[in-house]
Structure 1
Amino acid sequence: MNIRVLLILLFFTAGIWAQNEEILVSGLLVEAETGQPIPYATVVLNDTNANTTISGAITNDQGAFEIKTVQKDFYVEISFMGFKTIKLRDFKVKGREVDFGTIQLYQDSQTLDEVVVRGEVSKTEFKLDKRVFNVGKDLSSTGASALEVLNNVPSVNVNIEGEISLRGAGGVQILINGKPSVLADESSNALGTITADMIQSIEVITNPSAKYEASGTSGILNIILKKEEKQGWNGSVSLNTGIPDNHSIGFSLNRRTEKFNLFTQMGAGYRSLPRDNEAINRNLTNNEVIFSEGENFRNETFFNITLGTDYHLNKYNVFTLSGNFAYEIEDQPSETNFRFFEASNILVSRWMRDETTEATNPKWQYEFNWKKQFKNNEDHTFQLSALGSFFGKDQSSLFTDTTLEGENVDNNQRTATNFQQADFTFKADYTNPLTKEYTIETGAQYVINDVGNDFEVEDFIDGEYVINENLTNDFEWNQKVLGVYGTIAYENKIWGVKGGLRVENTDLETLLANTNEGNSRNFTNFFPSFHTSYTFSEKFSLQAGYSKRIFRPRLWDLNPFFNIRNNFNIRTGNPELQPEFTNSYELTSIYEIGKASMSSSLYHRYTTDVVERVSTFVDNVNFTTPENIGTNSSIGFETNGKYSPTKWLTFTGDFNFNYFVRKGAFEGQIFDFTGNQWSTRLGSKIGLPADIDLEFNGNYRSGFETVQGEQSGFAFLDIGMRKKILKGKIVANLGIRDVFASRIQERFVDQPTFETYNFGRRGRFFTFGLSYAFGKGEAMTYSGRRR
């Protein structure tokens, strides 16, 4: 009896064990069109009879999945956004396993179309003290870099060398998530590593509040990166070439996990930047004239690497540590031809001046940032950051003069430059939304600039080189700026107001070490700001704002020793230069008219101690030096917009006009005059079949009167074409910058005793790039921008 019971129990237990035997379900998910793995797709096992969920999982970085189940009657359902959902019912269990092998998912065109319609067009919206350019599908899916996105923002322009201007003026501050960053510095090659799909929006701040550093009058561009992160491996490889020489290879890699975001970017290349120059120095007292014309090159071999990590300690604390190192090897050959005429157009001498320059430029940056969010509100934050950078230049030049006709004017020279610059920025910001309507901000910033430029000139006399004491010195520049600020804002859905005050103390010292000529300045300034806005409807809003700004002279404005490439046209700095102060007022509107979105501004700026470059004439040599000359009162109007009549055609444009009143005096000469200046830009983007996009950007900048003469206007056209292959995994770019070689710099000086003319032109550039993305990254272009 006991044996029978035992056998029955064993049989029953075996049956239960057999029923609970686990089955392993596995497979690999890929895109049908490209064969690329699909990570983070949803895989669900559903009960065949009850139509309920049994178990589920998501695919890993390589698109693979594994699920265990004890139930035999099930089917598999796989789904991922933008792809058609599939159900797998026809399979067999072999050896307690179901191996589906490689499973292909096809894109759902209807779903994709809906996504494109919702987020296709990048749009600008209005905030209390800024405009926000939201990056839409039209840019985020193109594989463009951050520089290309910036070039699509109204009022912003990026030129051929990657220099960024706002409303036609340079000196723009670039921030990443509201703070200085290795990735935001124009002097490194790192800004090109930010792709369009990483950018949520770009804040355009033309009249900054007291929260921001008071220096610079052009405004601020704040790049806001997306919070969501694509976990896994992402990367891109880029090859570029061009005429004149512009060859580079770049590689970026990004690894994201729940806690860490590890990123690196590296590249190398060679580029050549030619420039045509022409100058005329005319002495009106004795009718002597010196003509000079030539071509110079800046040839650079460069290497660059960026390393960094974001560490998410928890939901409320993120630490960032990153660094960038670059090394450049420069070669700057030039040839300038001179002709010297006496009165009655008599040729006295004709000679050629050759330059051979070699330089090495090491530079690096490092950054630490800690951002803390408080539990009560994600906008309640504290952020602490430190940014350091170094740039060095070890340069030697040899100038050889060869007489070709007439009197002997050979004047061989050589120069040596040892330049070092170290900058440090420490910043703390605290933001607290007290209620839904009231927000306070406070913080501090400390900036240290430490520069040394040891410049030596030697003349070849009687068979040997002798130091020219008049042109040789060691210039030291040390500047420390401490700023603290506070703002308070009230904003509801219709109306808002924000006021603030920033206090900055500047401690500046310059020293010419060889002659012991020093200049020390210490001053404290108050920089108030006020902004208000009113929303009349979803399609029309108004904003008014006021701020006070400062322009502190830069190193090259202060350093009296510079290049002697053309020793009849010498540009020098002025150690006695004082800062500019500007009071800025703006009234801005944003509105929509049909399919067009528009923004217009009326603005007034009043600037004191205006920095102007002034020419003086000694022995037929033109010396150009910055000086503080009087005041500038300008009234301007700017309008810009975007119009998309169809899905495949988009127009963008802006127009800026200002009327100015200049008052001032220099060395007994009165500079009181009025003038105007205007610029316009019109761009179009045309979507062609086969994933081809064409872009045309035309620009015009008018001439304007200066304190001693006038600056000529010019127009230029850029053309670009982009072809996406394999759904954007490969992107080919073809560009022509300055199609007609019409982008020139032309300056006339007309004075009672002399006249000068200076002309410069970079010329036409052709570029071609090919980029490949792997993982879920975007194909991008490695720019390798120069300092």
Structure 2
Amino acid sequence: MRSSYLMTLFIFIISASYAQSTIQGKVVNKENRAVEFVTLILKQDSVTLFAAYTDSLGNYNFEQVPQGVYRMFISRLDYEKVTLIIHINRDTTINIQLPDNAKQLKEVVVAGKAQLIERKIDRMVFNVENSIGASGGDALDALRITPGVRVQDNQISMAGKGSVAVMIDDRVLQLSGEDLVNFLATLKSDNIKSIEVITNPAAKYDAEGNSGLINIKLKKAKVNSWNGAVLSSYTQTSYAAGNIGGNFNYQKDKLSFMFSVDYKRGARKRTETDELYYPDQSWNTDFVKKININYTTVNAGIDYRVGKKWTTGLLFSGSYSKPVIDEYDAGVISSNDHIDSLLNTVATTARKVNSSSLNWHADIDLAKSKLLLNFDYFKFNNNTNRDFSTTGYSTFLSTKNAGVQGMNNYTAKADMETPIRGIKMLYGAKISFTDTNNDLKYYNTTTGTPVLNPGQSNIFNYKENTTAVYLSGDKQFRKKWQIQAGLRLEHTHTTGNSVTYGKENTNDYTQLFPTLFVSYAPDDIHSWVIDYGRRISRPGYASLNPFKFYSSPYNYTEGNPFLTPRYTDNVELKYGYKNILYTAVYYAHASHGFGEVPFADEVTKVQYFTQLNFYSNNQMGFSESFSFNRLKWWESETKVDVYYSASKFIRTVNLKNTDSWGCYVSSNNSFILNKYLKGAINFWYQAPEYSLLYKYRSRANLDLALRYSLLKNSIQLSFVVQDILKTARNYSTVYTDGIRQVYYDYSDNRLLRISATYKFGNKKINIEKKSFGNDEEKERANN
């Protein structure tokens, strides 16, 4: 039904375009090299009717041009202007060669206030490069101050909605939990241009991500230039941490090259409290963790323009991390206000995580079309050793968990962009092969000699093959209406083999993911958009492993090989007024929802967490965003989100259905104090709410930042203080089988960060930083 509806819509769009023509072509210089950022204007009787700009390949395109005679004006500052008289009675291709300017222009600097927030019809853009609060930090720090984005419990979501997928330069990653933090910690905020919050992505994007996508755009550079930077930062939380790195970019004629390296060493503190109230006893445990950070990342890339219509290149990325977590847990077991026992655990978790990626890509200009090719290989290894010893009044247990995880992923992607009678058509395909191997062993070391326990050890191998194809069309009508419709088909086959348990599980499913986008802008003051999209969220690879990973004799986590994907349908109506006020009303329905569910055994007093498909959810909400930039020295973006969420759980988990109202308020403010000094104040507040089975208390956050620039911005010094009032704490309560469980955690969010950046070379850079085509599979290696 969905596919027939979309096909009917495509036919309607194509039929409506026959009365008008398309003008397209390419602009080159006298060496026949493509020229980007060229302005092309079509006039009739001195009235401007159409305007276009060339892309990185020199291509331009005018759509829906009525038949007639026009003057075309072609210009760029460093070239002589060209004027053409053209007669249009059908689709026409006009290639243009620009003559050199007789006067070579020197560098032109346009002074103006850099925007922090941009509101577009289909997305919100947070310009990280203009943000002071993100200076010297990582991608996670930048996301924390992105309007409408929440980072809590190591999860990224949109306020009033569910979890999202994260993209790097339009390529989807699937990130979750602690592994999300580890990945984003290696991506420096100083290398990020902007963060786009997209609630309804088009069909060309992977369908991953329940509530949309967050697109992290890396900085780019201009031709015939070179530049470098040295960066360093010092961060003080409960412990100190230091970071040093650098990057170098070079572009000359046909060759582009980039290299960056980053090293970080230090520690952070994490405190947690876990309270379990059994009918006859209460178990209260305080966890104190020192997370020692030690990682190095290296990135290198090269691009070469083989000919006028073909650019190809290689990209390598390597990450080498050795985190160590020192943990001390103090437990008190009591009944009737009397202490029955003390339970203390000392643990050390040491990991060696190495990953390497290799990408080959090609951009091919096929006259009227553009073809993008990506082939990727990703290798991941994770060695984990956890030693813990637990002491009670009369008991002592010492154990060792040793795990080895390996993964190989191969991905190929092809994307084509073709204009067809005024319709921008996009279509493509992706295929991915993933093979993971897990060997986890449990040793009892109480006697001092390791004794393998085969019953608590596991060998688990998992394979996943995914194939996807998509088609979408984008058409404008009379400059006021725009319709975009797309359809994506994804087929997935999985095989999970538990060698230890002698069980093999297979899953095979094919799903369609339609998208529809309709916008109406009667003038420059008002704009309306309504959109619909269907999304999917697949379980992480580790979530499918049935192995029980013990953190103490009374606590373990386990995966579930029978997990199936979660599906979400999203509908949103948006209204914009004068680029100042933005209103949205939205609804989302999620089915087959999966996640980690806590259980507690009343007899054995063992608490465990398991992965289950256990809920469906309905969310609806209203959001209002207000942009203020009337003063030269102050820019502000304030957003209020009010929403209602209702979750229904399956009977087997014995959980009560939940529903609640929630409210999220955020305000980002930037100030120009003088020519050299800028400041920022960022704040957010989250009202109490139910998030699925957990009931959360309110929480808030206040950040302050200053940036001082000197030597024509060659040196930048930044001072950032996050969570000044130490109010970004998480308190939650859940009932399972009538047993109340209370959780508290604080991830050392209050910090002081001092950073320094020195830039050298030609500052007008635009070297394109490619990302990998298999980022989604790479990041699921950690989940």
Fold match by TM threshold 0.5: yes
Letter paired with 1:253: F
Inter-CA distance 499–481: structure 2 relative to 1 (3 Å threshold): same
CA contact (8 A) 2:243 2:264 kept: yes
Between stretches 184-193 and 617-626, larger displacement belongs to 184-193
Query: What amino acid is the match of 1:288?
Result: Q
CA distance, structure 2, for counterparts of residue 373 and residue 78 of structure 1:
30
Matched, 1:443 2:428: yes
Indicate how the Cα distance of structure 1 residues 678 and 359 shifts in structure 2: closer, same or farther if over 3 A, else same. same
Shift of 1:141: 14
Are residues 1:484 and 2:469 paired? yes
Paired residues of 1:116 and 1:137 also in contact (CA < 8 A): no
Checking the alignment, whether the CA contact within 8 Å between 2:171 and 2:205 is kept in structure 1 is no
1:192 Cα deviation from its structure 2 partner: 2.5
Counterparts of 2:190 and 2:411, CA distance in 1: 22
Q: Which amino acid aligns with 2:263?
A: A
Measured in 1, the distance between the counterparts of 2:397 and 2:623 equals: 51
Shift of residue 637 of structure 1?
Answer: 1.8
Question: In structure 1, what is the Cα distance between the partners aligned to 2:232 and 2:384?
Answer: 30
Of residues 520-529 and 390-399 in structure 1, the stretch that sits farther from structure 2 once superposed is: 390-399
Q: Does 1:296 align with 2:289?
A: yes
Higher Rg: 1
AA at the equivalent of 2:288: E
Match for residue 578 of structure 1? 564
SS of 2:445's partner is strand
- Where do 1:53-202 residues align within 5 Å? 80-82=106-108, 115-117=110-112, 120-122=114-116, 124-127=118-121, 130-131=122-123, 133=125, 138=130, 147=139, 154-156=147-149, 165-167=157-159, 169-176=162-169, 187=183, 191-192=187-188, 195=191, 199=193
Is 1:611 matched with 2:594?
yes
Aligned in 2, Cα 1:703/1:718: closer, same or farther, shift over 3 Å? Answer: same
Q: Render the CA deviation track for 1:521-579: whole Å, top value 9, x for unaligned.
A: 01111111211111121122111111111111112432333643344343322222221
Q: Please name the residue that 1:105 is paired with.
A: none
Q: Which residue of 1 aligns with 2:400?
A: 414
Deviation at 1:137, TM superposition (A): 9.1
1:20 match: none
Change (3 A) 1:142 1:375: farther
Q: How does 1:758-773 map to 2 (within 5 A)?
A: 758-763=743-748, 764-773=750-759
The CA deviation string for residues 445-485 of structure 1, in whole angstroms up to 9 with x for no partner, is 11233222222122235553323334321222221111111
Distance in 2, Cα, partners of 1:621 & 1:142 = 42
Cα distance in 2 for residues equivalent to 1:498 and 1:77:
44
Change (3 A) 1:421 1:720: farther
Q: What is the DSSP-based 3-state SS (H/G/I as helix, E as strand, rest coil) of the residue aligned with 2:382?
A: strand
Residue of structure 2 in register with 1:743 after alignment:
728
Question: How far apart in 1 are the matches of 2:473 and 2:614?
Answer: 36
**SS class of match (2:111):** helix
Deviates more, 1:140-149 or 1:692-701: 140-149
Structure 1 residue 708, shift from structure 2 partner: 4.7
Is this contact kept in 1: 2:169–2:215, CA < 8 A? yes
> Alpha carbons of 1:140 and 1:687: their partners in 2 closer, same or farther (altered >3 Å)?
closer
Distance 1:765 1:388, change over 3 A: farther
Question: How do residues 179-578 of structure 1 correspond to structure 2 at under 5 angstroms?
Answer: 187=183, 191-192=187-188, 195=191, 199=193, 203-222=196-215, 229-243=222-236, 244-284=239-279, 287-341=280-334, 343-376=335-368, 380-403=369-392, 407-435=393-421, 437-462=422-447, 464-492=449-477, 493-561=479-547, 563-578=549-564
The count of residues paired between Structure 1 and Structure 2 equals 656
Residue 216 of structure 1, CA deviation:
1.2
Q: For each residue in 1:311-343, what CA deviation from the matched residue of structure 2 results, as whole angstroms up to 9, or x when unmatched?
A: 1223432213111112112221111111122x3
> 2: CA distance between counterparts of 1:202 and 1:347?
52
Distance in 2 of aligned mates of 1:459 and 1:179: 41
Q: Is the partner of 1:554 in helix, strand or coil?
A: coil
With over 3 angstroms needed to count, the CA separation of the structure-2 counterparts of 1:740 and 1:757, relative to structure 1, is same
SS in 2 for 1:667: helix
Q: 1: CA distance between counterparts of 2:655 and 2:235? A: 48
Aligned counterpart, 1:601? 584
Instruction: List per-residue Cα deviations over 1:496-541 (Å, max 9, x = no partner).
Output: 1122211111111222221112211011111112111111211221
**Residue 241 of structure 1: CA displacement?**
1.3
The one-letter code of the counterpart of 1:250 is: G
Counterpart of 1:453, as a letter, is N
Instruction: For 2:616, give the aligned amino acid.
Output: T
Sequence identity (%):
20
Contact 1:185 1:191 (C-alpha < 8 Å) held by counterparts: no
Measure how far apart 1:495 and its partner are.
0.4
- Measured in 1, the distance between the counterparts of 2:201 and 2:412 equals 20
Tell me how far 1:707 sits from its aligned partner: 5.5
Residue 135 of structure 1 and its aligned partner are, at CA, apart by 5.2
Distance 2:138 2:346 in 1: 39
Return the letter of the residue paired with 1:344. Answer: N
Q: Take 1:335 and 1:295, find their aligned partners in 2: how far apart are those partners?
A: 5
Structure 1, 659-668 or 442-451: larger mean CA deviation: 659-668
CA distance in 2, matches of 1:178, 1:707: 29
Distance (whole Å) between structure 2 residues aligned to residue 448 and residue 323 of structure 1: 20
Distance across 2 between alignment mates of 1:448 and 1:210: 21
Deviation digits for residues 663-718 of structure 1 (CA, Å, limit 9, x no counterpart): 33232746444322332211211221251122121122233235655233311222
Give the deviation of 1:126 after TM superposition. 3.5
Unpaired stretches in structure 2, ≥5 consecutive residues: 1-77, 80-101, 175-179, 766-778
Q: Quick one: distance in 1 between partners of 2:549 and 2:495?
A: 23
Q: What is the alpha-carbon root mean square deviation over aligned residues?
A: 3.3
Residue type of the alignment partner of 2:107? M
Partner of 1:85: none
Q: Deviations over 1:136-184 (max 9, x none)?
A: 99569998889477667543467898x7544475442313156889xx9
Q: Which amino acid aligns with 2:683?
A: G
Deviation track 1:234-277 (CA, whole Å, cap 9, x = no partner) reads 00001111113221110101111011110000122203121001
**Structure 2 residue identity aligned to 1:192:** K
- C-alpha distance in 2 between matches for 1:565 and 1:141: 36
> CA separation of 1:670/1:330 partners in 2, compared to 1, >3 Å: closer, same or farther?
closer
Contact in 1 for aligned 2:314/2:361 (Cα 8 Å): yes
- Match for residue 588 of structure 1 among 541, 558, 574: 574
Unaligned runs of 5+ in 1: 1-56, 59-75, 83-111, 780-785
Could you give the per-residue CA deviations for residues 414-454 of structure 1, whole angstroms, max 9, x where no partner exists? 1111122333332111111123x312111111123322222
Shift of the alpha carbon at 1:186? 7.9
Matched position secondary structure for 1:431: strand
Q: Once the 2 structures are TM-superposed, how far is the Cα of residue 299 of structure 1 from its aligned partner?
A: 0.8
Residues 351, 401 of structure 1: 8 Å contact kept: yes
Residue 612 (structure 1) shift: 4.1
| CA spacing shift, 1:686–1:156, aligned 2, 3 Å | same
**1:344/1:195 Cα in 2 relative to 1: closer, same or farther (>3 Å)?**
closer
Change in CA separation of 1:292 and 1:402 when aligned onto 2, cut-off 3 Å: same
Partner amino acid, structure 2, of 1:584: N
Cα distance in 1, alignment partners of residues 440 and 133 from structure 2: 49
Matching of residues 772-787 of structure 1 within 5 Å? 772-777=758-763
In the TM superposition, residue 635 of structure 1 has moved relative to its aligned partner by 1.1
In 2, the alpha carbon distance for the partners of 1:747 and 1:180 equals 28
The C-alpha deviation readout for 1:35-93, integer Å capped at 9, x for no partner, is: xxxxxxxxxxxxxxxxxxxxxx99xxxxxxxxxxxxxxxxx9996234xxxxxxxxxxx
Q: Aligned to 2:336, what secondary structure does the other structure show? A: helix
